[in-house]
Amino acid sequence: MVYKTQSSFYAKDRGQDWVQIDATGKTLGRLSSEVAFILLGKHKVGYTPGVVTGDHVVVTGVEGMLSTGNKKENKLYHRHSRFSGGLKTISLKQVLNEKPERAVEWAVSKMLPRNKLRKQLMSRLKIYPGAQHPHQAQKPVKIENVRGKAL
């Protein structure tokens, strides 16, 4: 009996491709879910839970990303220093003005599994606010759609 999670897709067999996604004109949530899908490797035939089978993802043009509705003012990110009165709150608008790549990084991170794989998967994600990136040598393939639909 062969279980679904049994893997014969070893490191030597899987290729690690590089994918480039342009975030200009795309919404944060839809973009992040597709990036997480690619990082996990769910678009590949040899997908195995618990094994890093995904590709490296380069996200460019984050400054031109959209948000729908009133999310820029209403969406809040919280962190706490564990001291009394240590709650810090920042809105999506402030995050997009200061470091827009952090919004994508946080959204993708929260869509990945909460285990030891998350750090490995996040190390494969490269985010840049403009259209330029230093990964030309890896020859990233520019994609417009995943799962048969546009991003």
Residue 3 confidence class, pLDDT cut points 50, 70, 90: low
Residue 68 contacts residue 92 (beta carbons within 8 Å):
no
24-33 pLDDT, tens digit each: 999 999 999 9
- Choose between 4 and 54: higher pLDDT: 54
Mean predicted lDDT score pLDDT of the chain: 89
Distance of CA 9 to the CA centre of its chain: 23
The structure tokens 């920042």 sit at 90
In the chain, the domains with their CATH numbers are 18-66+100-145 (3.90.1180.10)
Cα torsion at 73, 28, 132, 21 (round to 10°)?
Answer: -170
* Res 124: pLDDT: 95
Residue 15 confidence class, pLDDT cut points 50, 70, 90: low
- 108-114 LR contacts (CB < 8 Å, sep 24+): 108/32, 108/35, 108/36, 108/39, 111/32, 111/33, 111/36, 112/36, 112/39, 112/40
pLDDT band for position 140 (cuts 50, 70, 90): very high
Q: Note the pTM of the prediction, 2 decimals.
A: 0.86
Distance CA 33, CA 122 (A): 14
